[in-house]
Amino acid sequence: MLDVGTTAPSFNLPDQNGKFHSLEEYRGKKIVLYFYPKDNTAGCTKQACGFGELYPLFTEKNAVVIGISKDSVASHKRFEQKYNLPFTILSDTELSAIQAYDVWKEKKNYGKVSMGVVRTTYLIDENGIIVKSVGKVKAAENPAQMLGEL
């Protein structure tokens, strides 16, 4: 996990519609940048739907919500449509941002060890500086937690 006070790493990734987004285009806004393991899984769906429900409150606070996983653009599009998600979901199939933000880690599941995305959320200020980093995220609680941080 990256330290508070450091400059957030830049990225240039496609969203659920295939449009590319960079960190720099969000200067002047707060960014809730959350990394999650996989579209359409229980925890990830709870987290995304929570951000979706609270999204108007984030925009009132001049903040954007951006989700990133290693799923494809097509997978993100299906996820967005199924749950009517109002925010940007970026596809990082090459793991460039996932590794830059230090969320690609060894995970253990039922004794099996594999590499994967560890659910992590960053709050980035208007100047691109990380002001809060949350590891060991509880998916259902994270959206309200991050709204509280704003």
Q: Which residues are catalytic?
A: 44
Q: Which two tokens stand for residue 123?
A: 């709050």
Token pair 């993100």 is found at 76
| CA separation for the pair 98, 118 (Å, rounded) | 9
Token pair 């925010």 is found at 87
Beta strand ranges found along 28-129 (DSSP E)? 30-35, 63-69, 88-91, 104-109, 112-117, 120-124
